[in-house]
Amino acid sequence: MDTHLKMIDFDFEKLRPIGLTQVVVNSLGAMQDTTPPGSRLMRIVETQRDWFTLHDGDAEHRARIAQRLVNVLQMQDSTVTVGDWAVVTEGGADDLWIAALLAPVTQIARRANDGRRQSLASNVDTALLTMGLDDDFNPRRVERYIAMVRAGDVAPVVVLTKSDIARDAQERIAMLRERLPASVPIVAVNGMSEHARTELMPWLHQGQTLVLLGSSGAGKSTLTNTLTGAFTQDTGGVRRGDGRGMHTTTARSMHLCPQGACIIDTPGLRTWRPDADGAALAAAFDDIETLARQCQFRDCRHQGEPGCAVQQHIAPDRLMNFRKLMRDAERSEQTPLERIAIRKKWKSLHKAGAVRARDKRR
């Protein structure tokens, strides 16, 4: 049955299979007086430079973004991304325009090298953190992924691919289970096998939205094809010698699974600077936070102090990764003026040290 919320038309049952929830519907109320008659609710399933592909529950449509919304997003340091819910209006010659975006319930984002915020996916329930059991295997990287998606209120699931061909696969799986928090599911699959769909079935229910995150060559596109039951994404191999992947996915896009879930495939991530404060990121290392309360000293930095419970129980590599993530978060929270002041401070200290060393030599 069609639902009419003053100015915005939508069919809840038709949109529910592509992720519409009552929480999203409730947020429409704030937009009802600012939207022209005949506006429609659609979900963004692919982004290009100037055009966007949206789904209305029946079919896909192409649309452009209204300049007024572009200005608003620039002021908010935000962008349009796959998974967003959009209010769409019709212009002349049946052109469609994105007039407004609903505030995302959840969002995964990162900071670019120049400090700009870059959204990766919106309104996501679960992140499938994909990592190969071959040369792509990197426990530190997956720990950082877990911290960052949890900071965005998204549930992480570690998906280890190439379990059928990787050497030492069982040892690596066991090591990761011991290292990661017990609350994070770990699933090892052959991405080309139908069995992968069975293993991931608990997260493929109707209305669920998942995003695949991982490095190039980890098997994200292969897994997308298996879970959707169709050849929707091009796939490629890895380079000989270093096992690094070759980009096959060049844009984020959303696909539908036969079980009813939506899957967002993303290009391989080379870097992922955190877009969250230290407290949110530290929640992913809850074992360290819990043990820190048992340290002998309240201000223990876990760097050789006597009676440090953290160093007694946490692997040095995991602790080093935790410290690096906290430093990244601290830098992300600094204003440009604070970063300049810190650079000046270290430059001054370095200069003073060079002077002392020169005086000693004399």
Is residue 354 assigned to a domain? no
Stronger pLDDT, 88 or 91, i.e. the higher one: 88
Length of the chain: 362
Is residue 356 assigned to a domain? no
pLDDT band at 318 (very low <50, low <70, confident <90, very high): confident
pLDDT band at 122 (very low <50, low <70, confident <90, very high): very high
Flag whether pLDDT at 89 surpasses 70: yes
Is residue 272 assigned to a domain? no
Flag whether pLDDT at 236 surpasses 50: no
Is residue 358 assigned to a domain? no
pLDDT tens readout for residues 267-278 = 767 666 767 777
pLDDT tens readout for residues 271-302 = 667 677 777 777 778 788 888 888 888 888 88
Q: Do residue 149 and residue 177 come from a single domain?
A: yes
Is residue 271 assigned to a domain? no
Q: Do residue 38 and residue 177 come from a single domain?
A: no
Is residue 270 assigned to a domain? no
Q: What is the pLDDT of residue 1?
A: 44
Q: Which of 242, 265, 288 is the last residue of a domain?
A: 265
pLDDT band at 126 (very low <50, low <70, confident <90, very high): very high
Average pLDDT over every residue of 91-112: 85
pLDDT tens readout for residues 170-198 = 999 999 998 888 889 999 998 888 888 99
Q: What is the pLDDT of residue 113?
A: 67
Is residue 90 assigned to a domain? yes
Looking at residue 300, which CATH number applies to its domain? Answer: 1.10.40
Mean pLDDT of the chain: 82
Q: How many domains does the chain have?
A: 3
Flag whether pLDDT at 317 surpasses 90: no
Q: What is the pLDDT of residue 43?
A: 95
Q: What are phi and psi of 48, to 5 degrees?
A: -120, -170
Q: What is the pLDDT of residue 290?
A: 84
Is residue 27 assigned to a domain? yes
Looking at residue 247, which CATH number applies to its domain? Answer: 3.40.50.300
Stronger pLDDT, 6 or 54, i.e. the higher one: 54
Q: Do residue 127 and residue 100 come from a single domain?
A: no
pLDDT band at 8 (very low <50, low <70, confident <90, very high): confident
Looking at residue 100, which CATH number applies to its domain? Answer: 2.40.50.140
Partner residues linked to 16 by β-bridges: none
Q: What is the pLDDT of residue 98?
A: 93
**Domain interval for residue 316:** 278-349
Q: Do residue 112 and residue 258 come from a single domain?
A: yes
Residue 14 tokens read as 């038709």
Q: Do residue 248 and residue 321 come from a single domain?
A: no
Q: Do residue 139 and residue 216 come from a single domain?
A: yes
Q: Do residue 334 and residue 283 come from a single domain?
A: yes
pTM here? Answer: 0.79
Q: Do residue 172 and residue 252 come from a single domain?
A: yes
* CA distances, 112 to each of 33, 53, 68, 221 (Å): 35, 24, 24, 24
Which amino acid is present at 84? D
On the CB side of 194, CA atoms within 13 Å amount to 3
Q: Which of 265, 288, 309 is the last residue of a domain?
A: 265
Average pLDDT over every residue of 94-113: 86
Q: What is the pLDDT of residue 250?
A: 46
